[in-house]
Amino acid sequence: MAQVVVVTGAASGIGAAVARHFARLGARVVVADIDERRGTAVAEEVHGLFVRTDTTREEDNLALIAAAVEAYGGLDLVHLNAGIGDGGGFGEDDYDAERQHRVLAVNLHGVMYGLHAALPALAAHGGGSLVVTSSMAGVGMAPFDPVYAATKYGVIGLVRSLAPTWREQGVRINAICPGVVRTPILPPEAVDYIEGQGFALAEPAEIAASVAGIAASEEAGHAYVLQAGRAPEPVAFPELDLVRSDA
């Protein structure tokens, strides 16, 4: 039986590449995005289903998962990929509370709503995989966009904290932390600068192949750094060693 795959933020970039990759593997793909024109085009290309989804709305996330289950009978993989950048900084010239709230709403609250909607549906279908897109900014530093970095750290905390409980119900949760990827989130001048400095940009198709490999594995609770020309590298997090009160 063909896999059923749901991808948010799938109208372009990494999400569109993931949709195309799984469609080539024979999966039934549900394309979710707020961009109806480009999202519909990707869905038609992969012979899948488009569901307009504003991931900052809990009801949209619930409706997306319900539509996928109704159309295809269940779920095997959900990739919560929707995200935006440019939350600004904390100086006099770049502090913008409204812009910060928008980045938090999409990158963090949107993932929370997606997890709440998708995890029970995956478990009800006998288990499966859920992948969340974080970023290398979520395990390092991003002085150019600290609010974006904060949200990407946050989703890794969600993944690692939820993974043990949901693993018991057959659902494997992992995060990916892409480095610099050639997607619309990068303006042309940024691409020119990065390449001019001699740094490699990963292609969305390369990231999509890594997502497929991670989703197919039995691992859970990991965050994988994805860079151009390299295999996925799991981040080594320190183990907590709590101090006992009688020590």
Q: Could you give the residue numbers annotated as active site?
A: 148
Listed in sequence order, the residues at least 6 apart from 158 whose beta carbon sits closer than 8 Å to its beta carbon are 111, 112, 115, 132
Number of separate helices (H) and strands (E) present in the chain: 8, 8
The beta strands (E) that lie in the chain are given as 4-8, 28-33, 49-52, 77-80, 128-133, 171-178, 223-226, 233-234
Q: Give the Cα separation of 247 and 242 in Å (integer).
A: 10
Find residue 132's DSSP bridge partners.
80, 175
* Per-residue CA distances from 222 to 30, 110, 145, 162 (Å): 25, 20, 24, 11
Query: Strands 49-52 and 233-234, how do they pair?
Result: unpaired
Specify the amino acid at residue 3: Q
Q: Give the Cα separation of 177 and 179 in Å (integer).
A: 7
Tokens at 116, concatenated: 């709440």
Strand order across the beta sheet in which 49-52 lies: 49-52, 28-33, 4-8, 77-80, 128-133, 171-178, 223-226, 233-234
Q: Which of 128, 115, 212 is nearest to 157 (CA)?
A: 115
